Chain A
Amino acid sequence: MSTSVQARTAPRVSTESISARVIRGLGRTPVHVFLGIVAVIWLAPTIGLLVTSFRPRSDIQATGWWEILSTLRLTLINYSDVLNAQGMGTAFLNSVIISVPSTLLPLFLCSLAAYGFSWLKFPFKDSLFLIVVALMMVPVQVGFIPLLTIFKPFHLTQGFVGVWLAHTAFALPFGIFLLRNFFITLPKDLIEAARIDGSSDFGIFRTIVVPLSIPAIAAYGIFQFLWVWNDLLMSLVFVQTNANYPMTIQMTTLLGTYGTEWNLLAAGAFLLMAVPLAVFFSLQRYFVQGLLAGSVK
C-alpha cells in the first residue's frame, strides 16, 4: 500500500517544488474558509437546538448551549416530558395516521390516472391533461371554505377523513403530472408487445409500468409523505379535534404556551424532525430527486 502511494505521488513531488505547493494551497485557503463559514452557518442553529434538547432545564436557563462543555450534563428528561406530559407522543401517532393514507391514496390514484394519460386513448385527452397541469397551481387556500362546507354535514373534520381527502385531492394534479411524465418515457414497444400478447391494461400496469417506475414512484411517495408530515396549514384547517392534532400543530401550541421553556421546545422540535431526518439520511438519493421534482408543486 505504501509503495503504491509513493509511486503515485513521486512524480508530482519531482515536478512541483514544495514551496509551489504551499503557495497553491494558500491560494485555495479563501475557498476553504468560505465553505467552512457556510458549513457553520448551516449547522450551528440546528446543532444548538439539538444540544439544548439534552441539557437540564436549569443549565439551559443559566448558560448558552455553546457553553455545554463547561457544564457537561446531559439528560433525556426533556424528551420524556414532551412526549408524555406535553402530548407529543399522541401527536406523533396522529402525524403517522394523517401522513400514511395521505401518501398511499394519492400514490395509488395518481399512478392509475398517469397510466391513463400515458398509454390509453380517449377523447379530449390533451385538454384534460392541460386542466390537470393548470390545477397544479391552485393554492390550497382556495379550497378551504368550500371543502369545510362539504365536510361539515358528514363531520369529516372531527376525524381524519377530511384531512386525508384534502391532502389527496391537492396532491393529485402534481402527482399525475410527475408520474405521467415518467410513464411516457417507458419503451412503447414493450407495452405494445404486451398488448399483442393479450395482456390487459391492468396487467400491463401491474407487471410492467409500475415495476419499471419504482424510482419515480418512490421519489414522489417520499416527497408527498414529507410534504404531509411537515404540513401545518392543512391540519390547522381540517383537523378540528384537539386529540387529533399532528406534531406540527402541537409544536406551535407548545411555542405559544411555553415560549421560553426551551427544554421542552427543543426536544419537541427534534421529535418533529426525527422522521424527515431519518428519511433524509437513509434515502437521500430518492429524497433529493423527489424534492427537486416536487419543486414545481
Chain B
Amino acid sequence: MTATPSLIGSKAPAPKVPRGALTERTRLVVVAIFLLPAAILLAVFMVYPVLYTIRLSFDRGLGGNFTRIVGLDNYSSLFKDPTFIQAIVNNLLWIVFYTGFVIGLGLVIAVVAMRVRYETIIKAIVFLPMAIAATALAVIWEFVYQPGADIGLLNAILGIFHGPAPSWLGDSGLVNAALIAVGVWGSVGFATVILSAALKGIPTEVLEAARTDGANEFQIFYRIIVPMVSLPISVLAVTLTVNVIKLFDIPYVMTHGGPGTASRVIAFQMYIQGFQSGQFGQAAAVAVVMLIIMIPIMAFNIRRFRTSSVV
C-alpha cells in the first residue's frame, strides 16, 4: 500500500507502482463515480429543500413559492393557533404514554418470556405488527373500537361485564388514549426484541448470586435487570420519541385528527396546513419546528455513533 500515492502531495514517480495504483486524477474520478450519484441526490433533494423550507417559513409562501417576506409572522400565528397547541400537547401525550408503555410492557414481556420454552413464539407474535402498515393497523383497530357490541370486540367484552359502550374514536376525551393504545400495540414487539437481546447479555451468575442472597423476583427486576438494560432503554426512548414526532398515519387514517381537532399531531397539522388549507408558509414553519425538535436527538445520535458502534 505504501506505493499508492497519497491524496495530498503525492511523491512523483513512486518506485514500483503496483498495477492497480492510480494517478491522482483517475483516483478522484473513481471517488466521484462512487459518491457523486448519492451526493447529487442528497444535495438537490435534501439539503436544498431544507434551506428552501427554512426560508419559506419566513415568507407568505403562496403556492409554495417565495412571494412576500413576513418575518416571524408564520411562527407567531402558529403558536396562537389553538389547533397547533393542541397538536403539540397531543404529541407530548404520545411521547409520555406511548414511549412509557412500549418500554414498560416490552420489558415485562421480555423478562417473563425468558422463563418459558415458547419464548420465540411469544416474541414473534408480539413483533408481528411491526411488519404491517400503520394503515392496516388502523383498520384492524378501528374494527376493534366499533361502538356496536355486535361488531366491535372491545365493547362486546365490556358488554359481558355490563360496562359502558363508549365511542372510542368519537369521544374527544378517549380518542387520544385509544390511538396511543394502537401505537403501543404496534411497537411493543420492537422493544421486546431489543430488550430481550440485552437481557440475554446479563451474566447468569449475577442473577444466581442475588437469588442465593435472598433477593425476591421484584428486587431482582428493579435492582439488577432495570439498571443493566438502562442503555438500550435510553436508545429505545430516543427512537420512540422520533417515531412520535413523525407520527402521521394512525391519526390520519383512524380519526383524521378528530373528533374536531382532538387527536391532531404536528405531522398531521403540517399536512393539513400545506395541502388542504394551502398555507405553505405556515406549513413550512411547522416543518421547521419539527426539524428543531429533531436537532437535540440528532446531536445525541451523532455522539453515540462517534463513541460506540450501532445498536
A positions within 8 Å CB-CB of B: 28, 31-32, 34-35, 38-39, 41-46, 48-49, 52, 60-66, 109-110, 112-113, 115-117, 120-123, 130, 132-150, 165-166, 168-170, 172-173, 176-178, 181, 192, 195-202, 205, 226, 229-233, 236-237, 247-248, 251-252, 255, 262, 265-266, 268-269, 272-273, 276-277, 279-280, 284, 287-288, 291-293, 295-296
Contacts and interface: CB of A to CB of B under 8 A. Distances in A.
A83 B61 CA distance: 41
Contacts of A122: 7, 28, 31, 35
B280 A145 contact: yes
B140 A276 contact: no
B112 interface: yes
28 contacts: A28-B116, A42-B185, A45-B140, A45-B153, A112-B37, A113-B34, A116-B34, A120-B31, A134-B302, A142-B287, A149-B65, A172-B41, A173-B46, A192-B1, A196-B1, A198-B19, A200-B20, A230-B132, A251-B135, A255-B138, A255-B139, A265-B139, A269-B139, A272-B136, A292-B190, A292-B194, A293-B310, A295-B194
Contact of A139 (B122, B133, B291): B291
Nearest to B114: A31
Given A149-B65, A265-B143, A291 B130 contact: yes
B41 A109 contact: yes
Please indicate which of the listed interface residues A146, A149, A166, A231 has the most CB atoms of chain B within 10 Å of its own CB: A146
Contacts of B144: 45, 48
Contacts of B219: none
A138 B49 CA distance: 10
Contacts of B130: 291
Interface residues of B, number: 102
B292 to A, nearest CB: 11
B136 to A, nearest CB: 5
Interface in B12-64: 18-21, 28, 30-31, 33-35, 37-39, 41-42, 44-50, 52-53, 56, 61, 64
B193 interface: yes
B41 A251 contact: no
A41 to B, nearest CB: 8
Interface of B: 1, 4, 6-8, 18-21, 28, 30-31, 33-35, 37-39, 41-42, 44-50, 52-53, 56, 61, 64-65, 109, 112-113, 115-116, 118, 122, 124-136, 138-144, 149-151, 153, 156, 185, 188-190, 193-194, 239, 242, 245-246, 248-249, 252-253, 267, 270-271, 274-275, 280, 283-284, 286-288, 290-291, 294-295, 297-298, 301-302, 305, 309-311
Contacts of B271: 141, 233, 236-237
Contacts of A32: 116
Contacts of A284: 124
Nearest to B290: A139
